[in-house]
């Protein structure tokens, strides 16, 4: 039995072999066991080479013939499919006689060449133009017909008609494999593709990974990129109405679990979901600290539900994207955007941002003007620049790159007057007076050109790298092929993952010693206050400051310009008695970081520290942001919360040892905290079962350099080391002491190190605790 073929049938089998020659293709059919076949089941065709293009000979003898038997339709289909692939074409199922489950069921089936028949033109309805795609069908007559027979009550399928003449060119072996019929995706591969899509991989990355897994050459998988994209599209076939109901139920369940979860939705007149918006408790806390500058991105759609996706995001004090809220809108108009803005303000207790960045959208622009009248609205330059290639590359030709460089120069200017003059010169030089895009850009220049935006705080969101980072963050939401109900959970998972990754990165940065680049007292002072991200931005200005010269032109007014310039520059106004300083470049107002011009004036006038008002709270490493972050970790794993606690302890000690007064306050407060902790119930599983997760017996805090150049290295041991359920741990000596640098090791209680009397210390007096019990070495 080969492909369902019964060659040695004891019942008389009359087989007329198909003779394939260079000139003719003869098909003969006969009855079997004296049973005559109907006229519909018999075709005898004899055609000449001039009338058809004959198929080439196959390399193996697997040619269908009249009377060939198969145990099922599927066996006949697989056999004919194998034959077709060798010849250079594919097949499809065509006409049938009968229906499954009705009477005798299907009694006849035809398989035809994939180019058989002719395309049908779609009729237009109600004046709607139908898209009639090009078709490969050309009326090819090649086919194989099978008929159902029952001998001795055993059903079988017999070939009663076969023709292998084609009126089109047959494909080569390296081409035929690309036909859709020969590009199957196995169930296992479908499962892996779905998993890759949820992980956010692109289609090309999926294909390359599967090629490596299967050990095949590049481009030699049995399916193509188009097949994978079609499969992913099929995953998006959804039940929109029912999924919307599930989504609202999901939001209600999340609200019941956490009353700080916020959501709003709107139902249209047809009782269908029109809009929905939601925000998580951690997102609302982040907005309280970093909601001064936000991005409202509306450039993506959830295609499966034909809804616009809007994401509210910002940047935290470490320069990392933070998520605020998300919305799905049915329509893209003023009413929809107004609803989204009102819902967002409701989530954030009516607190509007100082500035907001969006894509270039006229409806959104008008909605913001109404709902956020006190907020400065700007367009994201990243979205504008992405359209330049379509707008100007063909128009300007070889001058396009030169014009684009000139546009960038104008965009980054500091003064409005310079921008206006430069814009006129650019338009004249390239003859763009009547270009509609140039006219539109100039009319909206106050929304995108930096000379008009520098007086407003944008927290660095206008930088292209920040735009790309936020864009990548949003695309992670769209990577998963899931139902609408799962979309909310998917966003929550991504936000939670981003928060955990951010907390870990912040902890690692805090445990590292700040790297000073200039040795300036201003830099040393800022390093104790700012986050590493903000410090790096200030250092960029400090490094450039010595290249500028400052001239006193009036009382409290300085002219600062680069040493290579003979005129121009920026004006710096400084009132030392009021600790007020400002610059005409407005970098501090724009980013919250002092500019090089101000820093130059401060250094030349013997100012060695930055006034507090010029170290904004949103860029500081300590304060309310860390408290909010700690409170937001209640649902996280215990080791991650312990890592955050390590970071806070590190900052606590670094700040406490600055002065004796600070140290006294720290000792007093830590005593109160310890007393309060002791009143709380202990874990029923014992102390060691609370997974501290430390790889060693103690916590190494960062090195701190004092004003005398001495390096202090603190080691805090676990105070619960003596409470164990098994063998006591031996304390290990720490190696790797750097002999090239002078270190001060604290072997006495910390209070004694700084002249504090241990006998009077409130901490040492509590429960007769010693310095070792407190964990200080």
From CA 746, how far away is CA 731, in angstroms rounded? 16
Run of H or E including 533? helix 532-544
Q: 3-state SS of 168-235?
A: CCCCCHHHHCCCHHHCCCCHHHHHHHHHHHHCCCCHHHHHHHHHHHHCCCCCCCCCCHHHHHHHHHHH
Give the residues across from 267 on adjacent strands: 273
In 3D space, the residue among 661, 738, 660 whose CA is nearest the CA of residue 703 turns out to be 738
> Which residue matches tokens 């104008």?
410
**Would you state the pLDDT for residue 739?**
34
CA gap 2, 76 in Å, rounded: 11
Q: Cα–Cα distance between 543 and 539 in angstroms, integer?
A: 6
Q: Residue 239: what pLDDT?
A: 53
pLDDT at 403 over 70: yes
Give the model's pLDDT for residue 126.
56
Using 50, 70 and 90 to split pLDDT, how confident is the model at 8? very low
* Residue pLDDT, tens place only, 536-555: 999 999 999 999 999 999 88
Is residue 755 pLDDT above 60, yes or no? no
Tell me the mean pLDDT in the region 110-119: 85
Between the CA of residue 610 and those of 148, 227, 515, 527, 607, what are the distances in Å? 93, 61, 18, 11, 8
Residue 678 and residue 774 in contact, taking contact as beta carbons nearer than 8 Å: no
Q: Which residue has the tokens 């040795």?
A: 519
Phi, psi of 372 (to 5 degrees): -125, 65
8 A C-beta contact, residue 568 and residue 556:
no
Window from 350-359, 511-520, 589-598 with minimum mean pLDDT: 511-520
Q: What are phi and psi of 222, to 5 degrees?
A: -70, -5
Asked if residues 377 and 369 have their Cβ atoms less than 8 Å apart, the reply is: yes
Q: What is the pTM of this model?
A: 0.56
Query: 301-356, pLDDT tens digit by residue?
Result: 876 677 888 999 999 888 888 889 999 998 889 999 999 999 999 999 999 999 99
Spatial neighbors of 316 by CB under 8 A, at least 6 apart, are 286, 289, 290, 322, 502, 625
Euclidean distance between CA atoms 593 and 459, whole angstroms: 9
Select from 549, 616, 609, 619 the least CA-distant residue to 576. 609
Non-local CB neighbours of 640 within 8 Å, separated by 6+ positions = 500, 503, 504, 633
Average pLDDT over residues 669-678: 85
Burial of 362 (0-12, 13-18, 19+ CB in 10 A): exposed
Mean pLDDT of 214-242: 75
Q: What is the arithmetic mean of pLDDT over 388-411?
A: 91
Identify the CA nearest to 367 among candidates 407, 398, 327, 319: 327
- What average pLDDT does this structure show over 132-145? 82
Helix (H, G, I), strand (E, B) or coil at 685: coil
Strand, coil or helix: 612: helix
Distances (CA, A) of 95 to 30, 86, 107, 143: 22, 24, 11, 11
Number of H helices, E strands in the chain: 26, 26
Half-sphere exposure of 117 (CA within 13 A, CB side): 14
Cα 308 from chain centre: 17
Of 160-164, 478-482, 666-670, where does mean pLDDT reach its minimum? 478-482
Q: How confident is the model at residue 640, as a pLDDT? A: 55
The DSSP 8-state label assigned to residue 99 in this structure reads: B
How many Cα atoms sit within 13 Å of 377 on the Cβ side?
A: 20
Sign of CA dihedral 128, 134, 139, 141: negative
Quick one: which of 240, 313, 329, 306 has its CA closest to 279? 313
Cα 385 from Cα 408, distance rounded (Å): 10
Nearest to 140 by CA among 53, 268, 75: 53
Confidence of residue 476 (pLDDT cuts 50, 70, 90): low
Residue 106 DSSP SS3: coil
Close Cβ partners of 100 (under 8 Å, ≥ 6 residues apart): 106
- Judged against a pLDDT cut of 80, whether residue 439 lies above it is answered with yes
Length of the chain: 777
Give me the chain's average pLDDT, please: 74
Going by C-beta distance under 8 Å and a sequence separation of 6 or more, which residues neighbour residue 404?
388, 392
Contact predicate 87/55, CB 8 Å? yes
SS3 state at 312: strand
Q: How far apart are CA 467 and CA 479, in angstroms?
A: 19
Most confident of 106-120, 319-333, 705-719: 319-333
DSSP E strands in 576-731: the ranges are 580-583, 698-700, 704-705, 711-712, 715-717
Q: Please state, for a pLDDT cut of 90, what percent of the chain lies above it.
A: 26
């Amino acid at each position: 039995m080969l492909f369902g073929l019964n060659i040695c049938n004891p019942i008389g089998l009359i087989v007329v072999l198909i003779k394939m020659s260079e000139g003719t293709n003869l098909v003969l059919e006969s009855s079997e066991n004296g049973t005559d076949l109907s006229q519909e089941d018999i075709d005898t065709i004899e055609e000449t080479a001039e009338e058809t293009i004959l198929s080439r000979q196959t390399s193996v003898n697997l040619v269908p013939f009249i009377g060939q038997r198969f145990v099922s339709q599927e066996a006949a289909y697989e056999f004919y499919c194998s034959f077709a692939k060798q010849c250079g074409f594919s097949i499809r199922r065509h006409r049938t006689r009968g229906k499954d489950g009705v009477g005798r069921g299907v009694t006849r089936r035809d398989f035809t060449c994939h180019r058989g028949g002719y395309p049908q033109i779609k009729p237009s309805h109600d004046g709607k133009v139908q898209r009639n795609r090009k078709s490969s069908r050309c009326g090819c007559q090649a086919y194989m017909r099978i008929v159902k027979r029952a001998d001795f009550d055993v059903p079988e399928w017999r070939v009663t008609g076969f023709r292998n003449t084609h009126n089109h060119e047959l494909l080569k072996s390296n081409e035929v494999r690309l036909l859709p019929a020969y590009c199957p995706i196995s169930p296992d591969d479908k499962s892996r593709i779905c998993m890759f899509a949820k992980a956010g991989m692109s289609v090309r990355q999926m294909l390359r990974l599967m090629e490596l897994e299967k050990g095949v050459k590049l481009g030699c998988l049995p399916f193509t990129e188009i097949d994978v994209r079609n499969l992913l599209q099929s995953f998006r076939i959804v039940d929109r109405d029912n999924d919307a109901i599930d989504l609202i139920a999901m939001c209600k369940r999340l609200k019941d679990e956490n009353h700080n979860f916020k959501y709003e939705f709107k139902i249209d007149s047809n009782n269908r979901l029109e809009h929905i918006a939601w925000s998580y408790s951690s997102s609302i806390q982040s907005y309280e600290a970093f909601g001064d500058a936000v991005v409202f991105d509306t450039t993506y759609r959830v295609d499966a539900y034909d809804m616009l996706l809007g994401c509210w995001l910002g940047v935290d004090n470490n320069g990392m994207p933070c998520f605020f809220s998300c919305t799905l809108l049915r329509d893209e108009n003023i009413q929809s955007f107004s609803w989204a803005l009102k819902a967002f303000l409701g989530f954030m207790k009516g607190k509007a941002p100082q500035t907001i960045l969006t894509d270039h959208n006229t409806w959104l622009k008008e909605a913001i003007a109404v709902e956020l009248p006190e907020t400065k609205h700007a367009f994201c330059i990243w979205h504008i620049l992405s359209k330049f290639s379509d707008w100007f590359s063909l128009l300007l030709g070889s001058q396009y790159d030169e014009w684009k460089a000139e546009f960038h120069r104008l965009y980054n200017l500091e003064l409005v007057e310079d921008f206006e003059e430069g814009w006129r010169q650019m338009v004249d030089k390239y003859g763009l007076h009547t270009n509609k895009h140039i006219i539109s850009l100039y009319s909206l220049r106050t929304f995108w050109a930096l000379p008009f935006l520098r007086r407003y705080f944008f927290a660095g969101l206008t930088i292209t790298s920040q735009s790309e980072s936020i864009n990548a963050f949003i695309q992670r939401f769209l990577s998963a092929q899931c139902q609408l109900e799962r979309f909310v959970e998917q966003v929550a998972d991504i936000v939670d993952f981003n928060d955990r990754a951010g907390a870990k990165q912040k902890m690692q940065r805090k445990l590292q010693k700040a790297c000073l680049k200039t040795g300036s007292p201003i830099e040393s002072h800022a390093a104790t206050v700012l986050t590493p991200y903000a410090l790096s931005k200030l250092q960029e200005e400090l490094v450039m400051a010595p290249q500028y010269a400052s001239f006193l032109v009036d009382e409290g007014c300085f002219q600062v310009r680069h040493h290579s310039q003979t005129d121009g520059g920026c004006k710096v106004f400084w009132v030392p008695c009021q600790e007020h300083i400002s610059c005409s470049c407005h970098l501090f107002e724009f980013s919250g970081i002092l500019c090089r011009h101000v820093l130059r004036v401060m250094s030349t006038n013997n100012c060695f520290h930055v006034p507090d008002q010029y170290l904004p709270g949103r860029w500081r490493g300590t304060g309310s942001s860390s408290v909010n972050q700690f409170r937001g970790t209640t649902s996280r794993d215990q080791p991650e919360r312990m890592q955050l606690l390590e970071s806070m302890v590190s900052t606590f000690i670094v700040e406490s040892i600055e002065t004796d007064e600070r140290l006294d306050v720290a000792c007093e407060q830590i005593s109160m905290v310890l007393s309060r902790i002791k009143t709380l119930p202990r874990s029923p599983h014992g102390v060691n079962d609370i997974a501290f997760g430390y790889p060693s017996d103690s916590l190494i805090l960062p090195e701190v350099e004092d004003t005398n150049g001495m390096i202090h290295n603190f080691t805090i041991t676990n105070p619960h080391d003596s409470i164990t359920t098994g063998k006591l741990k031996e304390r290990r000596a720490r190696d790797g002491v750097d002999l090239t640098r002078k270190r001060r090791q604290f072997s006495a209680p910390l209070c004694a190190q700084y002249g504090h009397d241990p006998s009077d210390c409130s901490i040492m007096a509590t429960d007769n605790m010693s310095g070792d019990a407190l964990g200080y070495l």
